[in-house]
Structure 1
Amino acid sequence: MSTHNVLEARNGLSRLIAESQAGSDVVITKRGTPVARIVPIGPVDVVRSGRLLVEWIQENPLPERLARVATDLDAQIDENRDAWE
């Protein structure tokens, strides 16, 4: 386990996340008092996560006033594509 103050955490968050991904617990302190911990969450089951997302979307559809068909979305993207470049 490593301990870092808020300033170190702010300036080195990517490094602390990498430490956590490598299996270490990282403790953030404020004025010497532990206030937060970054811990590894383990491997993510992408298949399960995707399935849960699809189930959630099916159970919570958009209101009719917000729903659009794919061809309308594609047309809107094509219209605005020039602004991205």
Structure 2
Amino acid sequence: MFTLRLNRVRELRSLHGLSQKEMAAAIKVRRATISVIENGVIPTGDIMLRIASFFNKDPREIFFEGSVLSTAQEMNEKKIQKRLERANK
């Protein structure tokens, strides 16, 4: 089984030794906001920029890195393949 990594927020937060509560306070959002982002909800552009600024990173490095996009593309291709297989039965 593989884990789909939707963004690097949890990874970066952990590397900096921060709790969700500490990070939330630093970027002025609720702790629950950090939790849902770490679980794959795409944040608003404003929050995305706050997170990127906080970690001194380009937002693309956190939310749109190649492996994340590649994994999503692979999943989409598998879904298409399954549909084709079902249609050809």
* TM-score, normalisation: structure 2: 0.22
Q: Higher strand proportion, which one?
A: 1
- The answer to which structure, 1 or 2, has the higher relative contact order (CA under 8 A, 6+ apart) is 2
TM-score (norm 1): 0.23
Give 1 or 2 for the bigger CA radius of gyration. 1
